[in-house]
Amino acid sequence: MIEIFYKSNGQVLVSQSESLFQELQRSDVIWIDLFAPSGDEKRSTEAFLGTTIQSRAQAEEIESSSRFFENDKAIFANTNFVIPGPEEYSMETVSFIICDGVLTTIREVPLRSFVDLQRRLQAFPKKYANGYLVFVSILEQRVDLDADMIELMSKEIAQFSKKINLGEDVNEEFLLDINQLQENTMLVRENIVDKQRVISSVLKSNKYPREYQTKMNVLLKDISSLINHTNFSFERLEYLQNTVLGLINLDQNKIMKVFTLVSLLLMPPTLVTGFFGMNVFGDVLEVRPWLSIPMISFLLIVPVIVIYLIFRKKNML
């Protein structure tokens, strides 16, 4: 699908037909949004801009030369957008092309930041005179959404910490939840660092107007603070993970202690019963049967009491 946002009589109109390119001048167009575009939509956009559009495979490459580059006609930037899910997050690559003040975006999934900005673009057309301002606005809104996700993850970390402090059941599922939150935190951090790299590259470009660089510098400061926050969150998660593992080890040690005590308590009775089960001692007891019950009872009970008292005295119970 293609959406063309263009200026007309002081307003911003939108069209979903690539045939409109034949009627518009490049100076009239602000933003071309390609959402899962077809081949015809891509070719029409390339003809209108006078430059080629990267394929999805090229846009997803991680090399710096693929994430940002420019030629004599346009600026090309690729960055990842995090999509939160019920449990785990995913990342989708979004491509930006800025050519003579016209912004072109290529994406494969619906994005909230794009939908919100499209509404504002038509409601407040004077705030978005060209594609440079739209590009900055998309990044600003995206960074705000990333900050919201980081704040949400911080609240989840606080809830996990509270559960541990309250002594709630800490099991394997709890540990897996912490591990999943770690994965999400790393994904968000990777996404933010990728934006930092792209914005830094844009600031070094001679094609990007100087009057819009102030907003870019503010974005870099915001991103730096978010990176510090994600680092702190990840450290907290590592601490929680180590705490959970320590609690699990303590529970296992308690179980092993119980098994050890039971084994020691059963050793004397086992020895006594085996000893008096021998034929020679059975003959002796037949001669003096009145000694058998008190003697065996004494040998069975006293060692168990002694072992229990020793464990109790050493605080091993």
Instruction: Give me the residue label for tokens 């308590």.
Output: 265
Answer whether 198's CB lies under 8 Å from 94's CB: no
- CB contact at 8 A, 77 and 96: yes
Which residues sit opposite 29 in a β-bridge? Answer: 6
Task: Please name the helix (run of DSSP H) or strand (run of DSSP E) that holds residue 45, with its range, or none.
Answer: helix 39-49
Q: Tell me: the pLDDT tens digits for 215-258? A: 888 888 888 888 888 888 888 888 877 777 777 777 777 777 77
Delineate the domains of the chain, giving CATH numbers in brackets.
Answer: 2-249 (3.30.460.20), 254-313 (no CATH)
Residues 117-148 as b/e (b if ≥16 CB within 10 A, e otherwise) read: bbeebeeebeebebbbbbbbbbbbbbbebbbe
Instruction: Give 42: exposed, middle or buried? Use CB within 10 Å, 0-12, 13-18, 19+.
Output: middle
CA distance 255 to 190: 42
For residues 100 and 69, what is the distance between their CA atoms, to the nearest angstrom?
16
Reported as a single tens digit per residue, the pLDDT across 251-263 is: 777 777 777 777 7
pTM: 0.73
Q: Contact at 8 Å (CB) between 136 and 18?
A: no
The answer to whether 81 and 142 are in contact (CB under 8 A) is yes
Instruction: Please tell me the chain's helix, strand, coil percentages from 3-state DSSP, rounded to the nearest 5.
Output: 65, 15, 20
137-145-173 Cα angle (round to 5): 160
pLDDT (tens, 9 = 90+) of the chain, 317 residues, equals 888 888 888 788 888 888 887 888 888 888 888 888 888 888 888 888 888 887 776 666 655 556 788 888 888 888 888 887 776 777 888 889 888 888 888 988 888 888 888 888 888 878 888 888 888 888 888 888 888 888 888 888 888 888 777 766 667 777 787 788 888 888 888 888 888 888 888 888 888 888 888 888 888 888 888 888 888 888 888 887 777 777 777 777 777 777 777 777 777 777 766 666 655 555 555 555 555 666 666 766 777 777 777 767 766 65
Residue 201 contacts residue 68 (beta carbons within 8 Å): yes
